[in-house]
Structure 1
Amino acid sequence: MENEIIDKIKAQISEMQKLSSDDKHFRLKHYVDSILTKLMDLMNQTDDEKKKEEYLFIRKELDYTNGREVKFAENAFYEARKKRSAKILEYEYHKKLERAIRQVKLELSKFTN
C-alpha cells in the first residue's frame, strides 16, 4: 500500500512538470495539496518511526513551499490574467511558476530518485 501511494506521488510530480504558464487555470496548488494529503496517508500507514519522521519533515517543507512559492506563483497568475496586463506580468508569472515547480520538486526529491 505504501508503494502504491509513492507511485501516485511520482505520477503527480510528472504531471506537475507538464504545467505551463499558458494554462487557463492555476493547477499547481491542487497538485501540491493532493501530494500533502498523500504524505499524510503515508505517515499514517507506516509503522517505522524513522520513516514517519522523514515523511513529516518532507510534509513540513512542502507545506512551507505551498504557502510561499506556490502562493507567489498563484498571485502572479491572477495579475497576469487581468485585462490589459503587460507582457512583463506574464513573463513574471512564467518565472514564478518555474521557480515554484522547481522548489516543489526539490522538496519531493526523495520520491523522484
Structure 2
Amino acid sequence: TQPGLFWADDPSRAITLELSRHLAQITGAKIAAEPWPFGGFPEAQVEVRVEEMLAQEGGMFRLAGQYFVSSETGRARAQLFDLSVPLPLEAGATAIAAARAQAVRDLAVAIARDGLR
C-alpha cells in the first residue's frame, strides 16, 4: 500500500451502489440496492457474485464472476462475466480506481443488455 491512501467505502457496498446507479441511468427504471426502499416488490432482482477483482501484471484490471436475474414473471437468467480494462504499465492507485470504475460500468451495461432484456 501507499502511505496516505485510503478507500472511501467498503468495496462491496461501493460496487453495489455504483451498479444500482448505472443500471438506473442505463435503463431508466426505478432501481435500488437492498433493502428495497419502495412499496411493494421489485419487478426484478439482480445478484452479482464477484470472483476476481484485481489489477494484473501486464497492465489489465480484471473483474470476473457471475450475475443472476430473477423477475416477477418467473424468468431467470444466470450469466458469467469476465471483463478487462487496460491499465498503464506503472499504474498507481488513481489509475486502478479509474479502471475498476470502468469495469463496473461495463458490467452494468452487460447486465442491462443481456440480463434485463
TM-score (norm 1): 0.35
Indicate the structure with greater strand content: 2
Higher RCO (CA 8 Å, separation ≥ 6 residues):
1
TM-score (norm 2): 0.34
